[in-house]
Structure 1
Amino acid sequence: MGNVQSDDAGLWNRSRNGEGEAFRVLYSRHRDRIFRHAYRLCGDRHDAEDIMATAFLELWRRRAKVRIVEGSILPWLLVTTTNAARNRRRSALRYRRLLASLPRADETDRTAQDPTGAAQEVLDQNVARALDALSAEDVHLVSLVVFEEYTIAAAAAVLNLTPGAAKTRMHRARQRMKNALTGEQPASTSTTPVLEGELS
């Protein structure tokens, strides 16, 4: 459609004015990245689909509070997706612990049939576990910088941090993820205050 504005801000304004086609274009433009982001956070395709749906539902439900960043609605969706994933993980924690404690008779057969798929699933779950070791704000930061390739400065603006605070958080978050993946205990550090530079 040649007359459809290509920028998110224009599409979002039209969506808020009741144009369903503009919202459909935004959904089509960002759904794959939101799904991939949700999948990275949870390591399960079905959960990722539910989380993605929740993010777009929240986009419409909270439309009066949505922030466009650098002409794009994507950062808001990414942060909302992270929140939805964390909420889902908390609410399902007991259920997952129960499932994990149950024996899986077919696990060996499934691994033998599809060793690559099984290895990828383990990797996905390990990444999700490593992200779970971070605070909510650090998951937002890692998601924007590492997975979505925003600059530290752009991610800091989205999260209302100074670039210096974002850089410090990023360094510490990477170390926590590494420790979670390797099973190492974090090295003792000096008792400096927890991150300075956050904007009020």
Structure 2
Amino acid sequence: MRLMGDTDEDLWRKCVVGDADAFGVLFDRHADAVFRYCLSRCGSWHDAEELVSITFLEAWRQRNRLRPERNTVLPWLLGVATNANRNRARGSRRHADFLARLPHSDPRHSHPEADHAEEVDSRLDAERAVRELLDTTAGLNEGERDVVVLCLMNGVGQEEAATTLGVRIGTVKSRLHRARAKLAAMNRALEPVEQLDTTIVEARLS
């Protein structure tokens, strides 16, 4: 397929002039990583899918302003997802109920196969596993939790995490150091994200 061999930077230059196919390749390339990150932030399959949609919509809207760093748009996409998740968390219950009533927000409409018991079980297992991981971060402040979710739960490098969060790499390192110390003091260990990836991706794509 054309464009598949292009770098993110090449694809983004084409997006800037309105090439929807190039944007589609970027979506296919990064949507799973963005989804896993969103799920690890909110613990809800439905909300994670909503956040992915918001993230890529915002990416398309801002295509004239973004310049990929280190030839990848993923850190920037994760930054958009981080802000979108914070806005979601701060929203009112009425707003959440409104979104849930939208036809495209109903998994039974957008994903008819979600009614299958096996897929439902896979999604519930993935949500349960993520929420157990999130429970381990309860004693951390917001900044520490950000770097734990990015670096320890999603395997993002410290430099990329700094780009995602809009902070210096030294800030990421110090937050990670404090977070590890707090987690050790609480005698809690984070599972490697790889143990969740297969379940999450397979369930999402089935």
Partner of 1:76: 76
| Code of the aligned partner of 2:133 | V
Over the matched positions of the two proteins, sequence identity in percent amounts to 33
Partner of 2:65: 65
3-state SS, counterpart of residue 64 of structure 2: helix
Distance 2:144 2:68 in 1: 21
3-state SS, counterpart of residue 47 of structure 1: helix
Q: Work out whether residues 78 and 164 of structure 2, in 8 Å CA contact, stay in contact via their aligned partners in 1.
A: no
User: Post-superposition shift, 1:161?
Assistant: 4.0
3-state SS, counterpart of residue 85 of structure 1: helix
Q: Which has the larger radius of gyration?
A: 1
Aligned with 1:151 (options 157, 165, 173): 157
Q: Work out whether residues 9 and 68 of structure 1, in 8 Å CA contact, stay in contact via their aligned partners in 2.
A: yes
Q: Work out whether residues 138 and 169 of structure 1, in 8 Å CA contact, stay in contact via their aligned partners in 2.
A: yes
Distance 1:73 1:39, change over 3 A: same
Distance 1:157 1:56, change over 3 A: closer
User: Post-superposition shift, 1:42?
Assistant: 0.9
Unaligned 5+ runs, structure 2? 97-119, 189-206
Moved more, 171-180 or 143-152: 171-180
Q: Work out whether residues 145 and 155 of structure 1, in 8 Å CA contact, stay in contact via their aligned partners in 2.
A: yes
Q: TM-score normalised to the size of structure 1?
A: 0.65
Distance 1:118 1:6, change over 3 A: closer
User: Post-superposition shift, 1:158?
Assistant: 4.9
CA offset digits 1:11-67 (Å, max 9, x no partner): 011011111100010011111111111111111111110011111111112223324
| Code of the aligned partner of 1:125 | R
Aligned pairs for 1:168-179 (under 5 A) are: 168-176=174-182
Partner of 2:108: none
Aligned with 2:171 (options 165, 168, 176): 165
3-state SS, counterpart of residue 145 of structure 1: helix
Unaligned 5+ runs, structure 1? 97-113, 183-200
Distance 1:139 1:32 in 2: 21
Distance 1:128 1:95 in 2: 24
Q: Work out whether residues 12 and 63 of structure 2, in 8 Å CA contact, stay in contact via their aligned partners in 1.
A: no
Q: Does 1:43 align with 2:46?
A: no
Distance 1:95 1:126 in 2: 26
Count of residue pairs brought into register by the alignment: 165
User: Post-superposition shift, 1:10?
Assistant: 0.5
Q: Work out whether residues 148 and 176 of structure 2, in 8 Å CA contact, stay in contact via their aligned partners in 1.
A: yes
Aligned pairs for 1:85-124 (under 5 A) are: 85-92=85-92, 121-124=127-130
Distance 1:25 1:43, change over 3 A: same
| Code of the aligned partner of 1:142 | V
Q: Work out whether residues 141 and 155 of structure 1, in 8 Å CA contact, stay in contact via their aligned partners in 2.
A: yes
The structure with higher relative contact order (CA 8 Å, sep 6+) is 2
Distance 1:93 1:178 in 2: 35
Q: TM-score normalised to the size of structure 2?
A: 0.64
